[in-house]
Amino acid sequence: MAGHQRYIRYIVFALVALVLLFFISSSSSVPSAQWPSTKYTPSESQKQDETGTVPQVPQHEEGQLNTMPSDTPKANPNTTPNTDGKQLPPQTASGERMNATFVTLARNSDVWEIAKSIRDVEDRFNRKYNYDWVFLNDDDFNDEFKNVTTVLVSGTTKYGKIPKEHWSFPDFIDQDRAAKVREEMKEKKIIYGDSISYRHMCRYESGFFFRHPLMLDYEWYWRVEPSIELYCDINYDTFKFMADNKKKYSFVISLYEYVETIPTLWDAVKNFTSVYPQHIVEGNSMKFLSDDDGKTYNHCHFWSNFEIGNLNWLRSQAYIDYFTSLDHAGGFFYERWGDAPVHSIAAALMLKKEEIHFFNDIAYYHVPFTHCPTGEKYRLDHKCHCNPKENFDWNGYSCTSRFFETNSMPKPEGYEKEQ
Ligand SMILES: Nc1nc2c(ncn2[C@@H]2O[C@H](COP(=O)(O)OP(=O)(O)O)[C@@H](O)[C@H]2O)c(=O)[nH]1
Ligand SMILES: *[C@@H]1O[C@H](CO)[C@@H](O)[C@H](O)[C@H]1NC(C)=O
Ligand SMILES: *[C@@H]1O[C@H](CO)[C@@H](O)[C@H](O)[C@H]1NC(C)=O
Ligand SMILES: *[C@@H]1O[C@H](CO)[C@@H](O)[C@H](O)[C@H]1NC(C)=O
Ligand SMILES: [Mg+2]
C-alpha cells in the first residue's frame, strides 16, 4: 500500500515539473528573433503609414500554447552545432543603399497573393537590402493588409491612397462612347474588355503612379504584382546595377500585345511624335517596335508587371508630354490600352537603346509565362528552382530575340536548346 502511494506521489511530482517546464519554455518565445534586422538608418526601421501612425507588429501572447521550438536559440550542452565548416546565411549586405523602393498597386482583397510575392522578393533579394515598399490603392488599405505586409517587408512600408482625379474618367472622355466599347468588347470576349477598374488601373500605371506623393521621395522603383514568383537568388543590388550602367528601364519577359486592345495606339504615337519630334531620341529601339521603320507597330512590348526603372525619367517632360498626348487620344477608355505597351513604346522611342536592360538573371513568373535564365551553370550557382523547359524567352510569341537583335547582342549560350 505504502509503495503504491509513493508511486502516485512520483507521478504528481513529474506532472508539476512538466507543467512548470512548459510555461518556462513557452514564455521564452515572446521576444522574436532578431536576425536579420539591420536597417540602413535606424529611424527608417519604423513602419509608418501616410498619417504617420505606427502599426504594431502582431505578437504571441504570453502563456499561449506554443509547441513550436523557441525562436531564440539557447546553448544546449547536449548537442553541438552542425555547421560543418559552413557559413551561416549572409546577413544584410553592407554598403550604401540606393534611393529606391518597391511599389505595388493592390486591393485589400489581394493581400494573400501579394503576401506570396513579397515572401519571394524578400527571400531571394530584399532580406539582404531592406528596401522600402510603397503600396498604392484607390481605396483605403485595411488593417489586415497593413499588418500582413508590414511584417513581411524588411524595409519600411508605406501606404498611399490614390487621389480620385487619378482614378476616374477625365472630363474629355465621352462616357456613352466608352460604355458602348465595353459592351462590344464583352461580346468579343476580350480579356478585361468590359472592365472599368482595369482601365483605370492601366491609365494609372501609365501616367500617375510615379507622381504619387509617396513616390516623389525616390529615384528608382521595382514594380511587384500579386501572385508572382522569383526563382533564383539575386546577390547584387539591381538598383545600383541600373545606376552604374546608365539603365533607365528594364524587363524580364517580352511578348506581342492583343491587337484588339490597341487598334489605334500606334496612330496616337505617330501623332505624338509629329507634335514633339524633339522627344524622340537618336539611337532608340524603333527596330524592336516596328519592322518597317515606324510605319506600323509589330505589337512587341515589355511585360510591365515586372519593371525596375527610373522614376525621374517617367517624371520627365518628355514622358509627361507623351502620356498627356495619349491620354487625350482617349484609347485608355475607347479601347483598352495597357500600361505595358504604353511604357514600352516610350522606353523604345525616348531612351537610347543601351538604356533598356534585359535582366536574364531575374527568374520570374507571372501567370501564364515564366522567365527561367538560360544557362545551367547560372541556375545552379543561384539556387534556381524554375524548370528551364518553361522558359518563354525563345518561344515564338516572345519578342526577346528581337530585343537581342535590336541591340546586336549575342544570345545567351544554350538558348537553341530551349526553343
Ligand atoms: N487598387 C487596385 N488595384 C488594382 C485594381 N485592379 C488591378 N489592380 C492591381 O493592378 C495590378 C494589375 O492587375 P492584375 O489583376 O494583376 O492584371 P493582369 O496582370 O493584367 O492580369 C495588380 O497589382 C493588381 O493588384 C483595382 O481596381 N484597384
Ligand atoms: C492589426 O494590428 C492592429 C495593431 O496591432 C490591431 O489592433 C488589429 O487588430 C490588427 N488587425 C487585424 C485585422 O489583424
Ligand atoms: C531621392 O530621389 C528623389 C527624386 O529624385 C529626391 O527628391 C530625393 O531628394 C532623393 N532622396 C535622397 C535621400 O537623395
Ligand atoms: C491623330 O491625329 C489626327 C489628326 O489630328 C486625328 O484625326 C486622329 O484621330 C489622331 N489619331 C489618334 C489615334 O489620336
Ligand atoms: Mg497581374
Q: Tell me phi and psi for residue 357, to 5 degrees.
A: -115, 135
Per-residue pLDDT of the chain (419 residues; tens, 9 = 90+): 445 666 656 545 455 454 444 544 443 333 333 333 333 333 343 444 444 444 444 443 333 444 445 555 566 677 776 666 667 666 789 999 999 999 999 999 999 999 999 999 999 999 999 999 999 999 999 999 999 999 999 999 999 999 999 999 999 999 999 999 999 999 999 999 999 999 999 999 999 999 999 999 999 999 999 999 999 999 999 999 999 999 999 999 999 999 999 999 999 999 999 999 999 999 999 999 999 999 999 999 999 999 999 999 999 999 999 999 999 999 999 999 999 999 999 999 999 999 999 999 999 999 999 999 999 999 999 999 999 999 999 999 999 999 999 999 999 888 888 77
Is residue 393 classed exposed, middle or buried when 0-12, 13-18 and 19+ CB atoms within 10 A define those classes? buried
Query: 225: CA distance to ligand 1 center in Å?
Result: 8
Question: Which atom of ligand 4 is nearest to 331's Cα?
Answer: 13
> Which pairing describes strands 300-302 and 307-310: parallel, antiparallel, or unpaired?
unpaired
Give the model's pLDDT for residue 61.
Answer: 38
Q: Which letter does DSSP use for residue 367 in this model?
A: T
Q: Which letter does DSSP use for residue 260 in this model?
A: G
Cα distance between residue 295 and residue 61, in whole Å: 66
Give the model's pLDDT for residue 14.
Answer: 53
Give the model's pLDDT for residue 91.
Answer: 76
Cis peptide before 69 (omega within 30 of 0): no
Residue bearing cell 555547421:
83
Give the model's pLDDT for residue 84.
Answer: 67
Query: 100: CA distance to ligand 3 center in Å?
Result: 9
Residue with the nearest Cα to atom 4 of ligand 4?
Answer: 271
Helix axes 317-329, 196-207, angle to 10 degrees: 160
Residue with the nearest Cα to atom 1 of ligand 3?
Answer: 218
Give the model's pLDDT for residue 63.
Answer: 37
Active site residue 307: yes
Give the model's pLDDT for residue 85.
Answer: 65
Burial 29-49 (b: 16+ CB within 10 A, else e): bbeeeeeeeebbeeeeeebeb
Specify the amino acid at residue 184: E
Name all domains of the chain by residue range, CATH numbers in brackets.
100-417 (3.90.550.10)
pLDDT digits over 201-240, tens only? Answer: 999 999 999 999 999 999 999 999 999 999 999 999 999 9
For 168, residues 6+ apart whose C-beta sits below 8 A from its C-beta are 200
Decide: 144 in ligand 2 pocket, CB within 6 A. yes
Active-site choice (307, 335, 390, 405):
307
Question: Which atom of ligand 4 is nearest to 329's Cα?
Answer: 14
Specify the amino acid at residue 136: L
Q: Which letter does DSSP use for residue 369 in this model?
A: E
Query: 194: CA distance to ligand 1 center in Å?
Result: 15
Give the model's pLDDT for residue 289.
Answer: 98
Query: Three-state SS string across 241-259, please?
Result: HHHHCCCCEEECCEEECCH
Query: Three-state SS string across 272-341, please?
Result: HHHHCHHHCCCCCCHHHHCCCCCCCCCCEEECCCCEEEEHHHHCCHHHHHHHHHHHHHCHHHHCCCCHHH
For 32, residues 6+ apart whose C-beta sits below 8 A from its C-beta are 59, 71
| Region at 408 (left for phi over 0; alpha for psi -120 to 50; beta for the rest) | left
Burial 265-289 (b: 16+ CB within 10 A, else e): bbebbeebbeeeeebebeebbbbbb
Cα distance between residue 272 and residue 140, in whole Å: 36
Note the ligand closest to the C-alpha atom of 267.
4
Residue with the nearest Cα to atom 7 of ligand 3?
Answer: 217
Query: 286: CA distance to ligand 1 center in Å?
Result: 29
Give the model's pLDDT for residue 50.
Answer: 45
Neighbours of ion ligand 5 (CB under 5 A): 225, 305
Cα distance between residue 156 and residue 158, in whole Å: 7
Give the model's pLDDT for residue 139.
Answer: 98
Give the model's pLDDT for residue 72.
Answer: 56
Q: Which letter does DSSP use for residue 230 in this model?
A: E
Cα distance between residue 231 and residue 281, in whole Å: 35
What residues line ligand 1, using a CB cutoff of 6 Å? 104-107, 110, 137-138, 197-198, 201, 225-226, 305
How many angstroms separate the first and last alpha carbons of the chain? 84
